[in-house]
Structure 1
Amino acid sequence: MVDSVLDNDAFLTQLTRLFENVKPTTKKILLTMKRHTWQPKKLRNAEAAKELKNQDSEKKVDNKEYPLVIRATCGKNKIKTVVNPSDSDKFYTAYSNILKVHMDSMKKKEKKKSERKKKIRKAKATIA
């Protein structure tokens, strides 16, 4: 798979397959979410520069609803989908269920020994 845009249901099934096929010790799955503005990066940067110049005037409130781009990568496998604001509730419930099911296979971050010693010292100080 090479960076294909999928519909929401196909993305969720592919994400489930990624979680099932990954070994916790060898590979990582990276999930990203971004607001999708439908504008090229150069145009967005030009608009941002104009806004900085005009920042002295009143601040604009952006009430637009933007779709989200959600990406999942695991090695060379890359999948993405665009979630419209109208479909977001349905998508988030299914997405969170998938994450909850596969959350137990994640490895906990190991704490450094020095942090443990500091916590023990603080606990002893508060007890005494």
Structure 2
Amino acid sequence: MVLLENDAFLTELTRLFQKCRTIGSVVITLKKYDGRTKPVPRKGHPETYEPADNKCLVRASDGKTRISTVVSSKEVIKFQMAYSNLLRAHMDGLKKKDKKSKSKKTKAT
């Protein structure tokens, strides 16, 4: 997995969306990230670890290529605005709702 800067991540995510436009899908996950690279110790060995600030780990994958970035709390608003604009631009492949099924249900009752 490649850890990228925020702007480079958004650029690569755009490329993933363009590559998977006709066939395929892009999976995006977000989770809280505390900066640890090692697993949490067991109960017998307590360790006091306080993260400096809250961070978010964003991952994207198309099945073959995996990219990720870490967004700090200071950069969240800027990243979120760019990320939401990117998602709006590339969410045109969604299927429309079938309105016929809704009218059939009302007629049946």
TM-score by length of 2: 0.76
Deviations 1:6-37 (A, max 9, x none): 0000000000111111133x211000000002
Aligned residue type for 2:104: I
Residue matched to 1:108: 95
Residue matched to 1:10: 8
Deviations 1:54-82 (A, max 9, x none): xxxxxxxxxx8520000000121100000
Residue matched to 1:37: 34
Larger CA Rg, structure 1 vs 2 = 1
**Deviation, structure 1 residue 43:** 1.3
- Identity of matched residues, %: 39
Aligned residue type for 1:97: N
The answer to which structure has the higher strand fraction is 2
The answer to which structure has the higher helix fraction is 1
Residue matched to 2:56: 68
Q: Which runs of 5+ in 2 are unaligned?
A: 47-51
Q: Which has the higher contact order (CA 8 A, sep 6+)?
A: 1
Q: Which runs of 5+ in 1 are unaligned?
A: 51-63
Q: Which runs of 4+ in 1 moved over 4 A?
A: none
